[in-house]
Structure 1
Amino acid sequence: MSASVAMHMSDGLINAPVSAVFGAVAVAGMAAAMAGARRDLDDRTAPMAGLVAAFVFATQMLNFPILPGVSGHLLGGALAAILVGPWVGALCVGIVLVVQALVFADGGLTALGANITNMALIGVCAGYGVAVLLRRLARRNRPGLLAVCFVAAFVNTVVASGGFILQFALGGDPAFSLGAVAGSVLGLHCLIGIGEGLITALTVGAVASVRPDLVHLLRGTARPLELRTVPAAPKEA
């Protein structure tokens, strides 16, 4: 079982009743995200949301090898939440997953609800929750921001993979050992989480160095020390 299949599930990986339950969870979660996004979106955040969705789409389409015969892809949930907030971030990831399933047949239609639940809901909530807990460190200086982004993205990836393990335990093929599946999925997504953390830190750091006001996590307080512009010294009379 590859990491890409485990995280981005195909049809038949879990049974119909469990797929239906998590389909309902996904619909409710996306409805809540749309309601929250209406409050967060404005002339400044709407273009950023579009860029975030495009970036997440591109990164999820790129699979990279982990072990011989095993590959994985980035999720982008923490990245989206840190840049545009949890509601808009969840909506961005959810839209990406729908487009991938309908247009590119990446992820099965019957498993779409489970995929949205794992990556757009569980992953985004976990990544953003960690970022909020460490927000004071992120606002202190640039190294702090990069460290927070890395940790949030790592946690996002591992916790989202835990959602798949739960779904497989409820409706997966009993011929497979749950312990073996869980160990394989968690181990592989720890490795994927390192790559996710690095890309998230570099991307958010690049945006914050130019426009820290566009980073949702940094709003509401003074800019990080290393990102603030030092005022010019007054001229002597």
Structure 2
Amino acid sequence: MALIGNLSAILLIFLDAHLHIAMYFLLSQLSLMDLNCISTIIPKMASNFLFGIKSISFIGYGVQSFFFLTLVGAEALLLTSMAYNHYLAIRFPLHYPIYMSKKVYVLMITGPWIMGSVNSCAHTAYALHILYCQSRAINHFFCDSPAMLTLACMDTWVYEYTVFVSATLFLMFSFIGITCSYGQILLAVYHMPSSEGRKKAYSACSTHLTVVTFYYAPFAYTYLCPRSFQSPTEGKVLAIFIPCLPPCSTLSPTA
């Protein structure tokens, strides 16, 4: 579902000249991030289940961790950009092409990638230098940071603190941006004279909020909740929501 939906969205936006505007370029970037995210986790996980090879090299762990954390952070910021884009499209429809110039939407696209990769580099480099015990078996589907910390033979409070701080900053920045954008959107929609216009605006916003909810809820629990309050089963179930559920839910706004 995720592959078909997101590839179709990217292909449609690329081929249709009428869709070569900022709103759809942002949507194509979200689809690209979703495709990369599931490609980082799902193929290896599926091969483990199908062929019984439940192992990954140390270099493979570093590569998987880097790309996964990069895409998770970048998607959080891109969802904020999309909320701001919806705000401009609904609040200032006539001035939208002026506000969303080529320079602005290029910055909105490249910014999340750069910030996500910088954050991921720091966490991956630190995780690769942690001293791990002789036992290398984790009770998880993939090499997620909370699961890997259970193997450490050293005090990891510094790393856990940096994970908490970076996750808080990403979530707080995104939450404030999305809340402010949608607060203004609801105010603008409330004053719309046309019921048809209000219906279209609510439809566009509700699909985006659905993706935001499916993405942020497991993200917040996985990376902000202390390990002592998480069970391995809960961690696995919620962690798999991040690479799987948002890419599938993107089908709604794509349609």
Between structures 1 and 2, the one with greater helix share: 2
Could you state the TM-score of these two structures normalised by the residue count of structure 2? 0.28
Could you state the TM-score of these two structures normalised by the residue count of structure 1? 0.30
